[in-house]
Amino acid sequence: MAENLMIRTLRTTPAAHLTDLMEAATVSVTVDGERGVSLREIAFAVQIGLRAEPGTASAAALEAIMGVPLPTGHGQSTGDAQGQHVLWLAPDEFLAVDVSRQQVPGDADALAQALDGLPGQAVDLSANRALLELSGPSARWVLEKGCPADLHPRAFAVGTAIVTQLGPVPVILHRSAETEFRLYPRASFADFLVRWLVDSMVEFRQEEVL
């Protein structure tokens, strides 16, 4: 318990030093209506890398612990985007995420133990990627400045998650709600990506030119 308290006290997120910059870049939905957009970092969300083939005993063991099924196809996610959910990364690779609580040592232990003697893997990756959330009516327009994927709702519905790029930065991109997108860059790219997004948000602070 004391060790966990020390970790919570001393650790910092990859974009913590940019909190004021993100807050200053926010375009209020209340004031600016359809041009509203905001950016924040979700601190220390649980991220656990999973390897298992859907439909096997390994997958069933993981699903029994999580209470959430593994996605079965490209772009899919399962579970509650505001709590525990799982993102598809490859046919036998997934990222289990929980944004309802902060990561603590040992989060992956029960999953790893469930795979004892079975093919597969469960590894805590919470320090591997930053988690940024871009939200508001203009969030999609900001992303489309540098993302090659088709983000129109007909192609990128709520719940869709893919591996893509934003500018030069590889990211996992998850549409977690109607006007909410989560981005997972490697921790070392978080500073660059936040500044890229903030620059892309500047346009929406100005009056629209028709």
Distance CA 16, CA 138 (A): 24
Tell me the two tokens of residue 27. 């375009």
Structural domains in the chain plus CATH codes: 14-44+128-204 (3.30.1360.120), 45-125 (3.30.70.1520)
Q: How far apart are CA 165 and CA 155, in angstroms?
A: 17
pLDDT (0 to 100) of residue 205? 78
pLDDT average per 10 residues of sequence, the chain (210 residues): 59 95 81 79 97 97 97 97 98 98 95 97 96 96 97 97 97 97 98 97 75
Q: Confirm if 157 and 81 have CB atoms less than 8 A apart.
A: no
pLDDT one-digit tens code per residue, 77-99: 999 999 999 999 999 999 999 99
Partner residues linked to 166 by β-bridges: 169
